[in-house]
A and B are shown apart, each in its own frame.
Chain A
Amino acid sequence: MAFTATVGNQQVSCGEDQSMLDAFLRAGVWMPNSCNQGTCGTCKLRVVDGDVDHGDSPADTLTAEEREAGLALACQARLRSDSVVETLGGAVGGGITHPLRDLTATVLSNDEIARDTRRLLLELPEPLAFHPGQYVELTVPGTQLRRQYSLANTADEDKVLELHVRSVSGGAATERWIFTSMAVGDQIPVTGPLGDFFLPAEDSDDGGPMVLIGGGTGLAPLIGLARTALSRDPGRRVLLYHGVRGVDDLYNLDQMAELTKVYPAFTFVPVLSHEAPAAESVHREGFPTDHFIEDVDSARGWSGWLCGPPPMVEAGVRAFKRRRMAPRMIHREKFTPATD
């Protein structure tokens, strides 16, 4: 007889006479532990759903109140039913989780805004709650293929979603759909919101300086994040780098100029990797992460936001750490290609 324990997205089968800890460790699933004899409490976890037998758990390590509260010692407890457990390491994300929903949106516009780049405006039948910086999934018509696109919106722009899409050669969603057959008025399924790329809740946002680096359409979520952060704290230092190949890839320049005007501590830095900037232009040459290293001596106390192609995101993490930004303040969204 065996029961199943679920922790996060992992499931482990636990024998009737097997401690949960033992089952997890044998299955190669990490769970904090030290003494394995019920005396240190390192393996304490929360049983969210299901029945456990606490076995020989000592009252000193696992008090009656803790049992009441659903805690158990993984090294002592045996499952008596299929159960859901969570470790006490602190919930990921924190704050409000917006429920994931399936909606049918109407394409309001689908315009070319830069080289190989479209802006999609999708009207929803009802508002969608999300955190700025999160993304939605579109399903390519006539297929099961799902593709993620980040929201450029702030939270109050909850009826018309704005997506920035860059064409990928041979791409099922981009070249073969969004850039060719998708028309204004089309009804398309949208699933969201998803992802953990968002600001801390307003009451735990310390208003500290921020650097955001986007590669190509990686700019999209940064626009929602930067505008939200600035409206929370208009004086806060916000440094936004947009890395692209050439001038023709830049977009939303009016919006950037407007933000620069309204918020004196906001700086927009366009960086061209494959083109020498024209004389006297504000464009820089090279990679945004290198410019960040030159521009900022110390990023202690800053938060960092990286979005776009995985290699750019990884270079950004290294650059931020080199300037001693605390790793927990580094947020990343990688535009990883789909595997199907």
Chain B
Amino acid sequence: MTTTSETTTPDRSWIADITMTELERNPYQAYERLRQEAPLAFVPVLGSYVASTADICREIATSPDFEAVITPAGGRTFGHPAIIGVNGDIHSDLRGMVEPQLQPVEVDRWVDDLVRPIARRYLEAFEADGHADIVTQFAEPVSVRSLGDLLGLQDVSSDKLRQWFGQLSRSFTNAAMTEDGEFVNPDGFVEGDVARAEIQAAVDPLIDKWIEEPAETAISHWLHDGMPPGKTRDRQYIYPTIYVYLLGAMQEPGHGIASTLVGLFSEPEQMEEVVDDPTLIPRAISEGMRWTSPIWSATARISKVPVTIAGVDLPANTPVILSYGSANHDTGVYDAPTRYDIKRPPLPHLAFGAGNHACAGIYYANHVMRIALEELFEAIPNLERNTSTDIEFWGWGFRGPTSLPVDWEV
């Protein structure tokens, strides 16, 4: 019998072996172990501390001792000042700029008229086929077209918007760091740079126009709202936040729709209940967000002062990545978290973050996903998963199924 293993510090060397590829393929195993053994840990491949439990994520996200910081790969992709990485007056100004269009009273006014026809249009294109890939033919197009029209990007095709969020997303999560704090794969940012150049080429002329003739588009409001007469916000000041939208706000409702469906397919009885009773759709989406959180691990906070969190001493200026996707699988909060189950006690989840940087688009995003699923089940109530292939999920920063083939009788 030995007692030494009980007194020595546990062996944490496995944390140094975590790779980006492993996290992108399936982050759940590594994070499960992190939650158990080191819920606030320095993860070398990310070059950062990582918070993986619900309590610690929430504590850091809402603590006055922390403020927002953008991850290095995120900053390299978006530039400054992106709303997710700024604080104080700049953050207040940017929140004040984006929030008016996203207020519930405001969203209620137009969301149905915006999203429902778009969902119907994409459904009409394939509903007679008897088969489709829900991710590329429905979830992503409905998500990008709705927000694209809201922003004023009617002339940018849905395929282009989908391409941009893919490029920005891979660049944003090109997170692997060397021991010296360098990017392991600098070439990984090239596609983000390409997307940004294309976005500016498409959006600059629109901004030129909206400066002269304000329009009822979100970006036009961003230029004008709250500015003294004759003045507009500088475009370089708002571009990083435009990229935040063109990545997360474009991609995540699509992820959410598809993940919710995959979850429902894993529980055929619950699927049937939800198809039969559309009022259950919001509950199904909420569980989908918990089960596979679209923004799995993409935002961060930084300590303003030396703090001790969960027994770990962090000096001032220590960044911590918030892994909301892991927090939502915390067994301290959820029983059998890997199971999709709309019947579980409906406890709050962290898929939209917490604190003063929590998602500004929750209300709108929930409605987009709801309307999309309502229309899908209305048009194709006999939807079945095509089981000839397994469904693959991908992503550490942002996560969702890469494709979702379905069949139905026509």
A residues near B, CB below 8 A? 25-26, 28, 30-37, 39-42, 44, 60-61, 63, 66, 89-90, 300, 317, 320-322, 324-328, 330
Q: 22 interchain pairs (CB within 8 A)?
A: A26-B345, A28-B346, A31-B346, A32-B286, A33-B286, A34-B352, A34-B366, A35-B354, A39-B358, A40-B104, A41-B103, A41-B363, A42-B366, A60-B99, A89-B282, A300-B379, A321-B275, A326-B379, A327-B278, A327-B378, A328-B378, A330-B276
* Chain A residues, CB < 8 A from B377: 327
Chain A residues whose CB sits within 8 angstroms of the CB of B277 once the complex forms: 327
The contact of A30 among B99, B103, B346, B379, by CB within 8 Å, is B346
Check if B283 sits within 8 Å of A326, measured CB to CB. no
Judge whether B381 is part of the interface by a CB distance below 8 angstroms: yes
CB of A61 within 8 A of CB of B282, answer no
In the complex, the answer to whether A25 meets B348 with C-beta atoms within 8 Å is: yes
Verify B105–A35 contact, CB threshold 8 A: no
Q: Nearest B residue to A332 by beta-carbon distance? A: B276
B409 an interface residue at 8 Å Cβ cutoff?
yes
A28 to B408, CA, bound (A): 35
A320 to B345, CA, bound (A): 32
Q: How large is the interface on B (under 10, 10 to 19, 20 to 34, 35 or more residues)?
A: 20 to 34
Among candidates B104, B279, B352, B381, residue contacting A321 with C-beta atoms closer than 8 Å? B381
Q: Which of A33, A37, A327 contacts B381 (CB 8 A)?
A: A327
With a CB–CB cut-off of 8 A, which chain A residues contact B410?
324
Q: What is the CA–CA distance of A316 and B73 in the complex, to the nearest angstrom?
A: 54
Contact between A33 and B348, CB atoms less than 8 A apart = yes
Q: Are A324 and B104 interface neighbours, CB within 8 A? A: no
Are A66 and B105 closer than 8 Å at their CB atoms?
A: yes
A66 vs B103: C-alpha distance when bound (angstroms): 13
Pair B276/A42 contact, Cβ less than 8 Å: no
Known interface pairs A35-B358, A322-B409, A327-B381; A25-B345 also in contact (CB < 8 Å): yes
Minimum C-beta distance from A26 to chain B (A): 8
**A36 and B286 alpha carbons, distance in the complex (Å):** 13
Q: Identify which of residues 278-307 in chain B touch chain A, using a CB-to-CB cut-off of 8 Å.
A: 278-279, 282-283, 286
A324–B275 Cα distance when bound, in Å, is 12
Contact check, A326 vs B358: say whether CB atoms are below 8 A apart.
no
Q: Are B378 and A326 in contact (CB under 8 A)?
A: yes
Known: A25-B345, A321-B381. A37 touches B358 (CB 8 A): yes
> Which residues on A sit within 8 Å (CB–CB) of B352?
34-35, 40
Contact status A34-B381, CB under 8 Å: no
Q: Does B382 have its Cβ within 8 Å of any Cβ on chain A? A: yes
Q: Would A44 and B358 count as touching, CB distance under 8 A?
A: no
Establish whether residues A324 and B381, one from each chain, have CB atoms under 8 Å apart when the complex forms.
yes
Let me know if A328 and B103 touch, CB within 8 A: no
Whether B345 contacts A89 by the Cβ 8 Å rule is no
Q: Which of B346, B358, B409 has the most CB of A within 10 A?
A: B346
Report chain A residues within 8 Å CB of B103. 41, 60-61
* Assembly CA distance A22 to B297 (angstroms): 26
Query: In the complex, what residues of A have CB within 8 A of residue B286's CB?
Result: 32-34
Q: Specify the chain B residue showing the minimal Cβ separation from A320.
A: B381
Against A, the Cβ 8 Å flags (1 = close, 0 = not) of B96-116 are 000100011100000000000
On whether the beta carbons of B275 and A327 are closer than 8 Å, the reply is: yes
A90 contacts across to B, CB distance below 8 A: 279
In Å, the complex CA distance between A60 and B276 comes to: 35
Q: Evaluate contact between A36 and B279: CB separation under 8 angstroms.
A: no
Q: Is B347 interfacial (CB-CB < 8 Å)?
A: yes
Report the bound CA distance from A34 to B348 in whole Å: 7
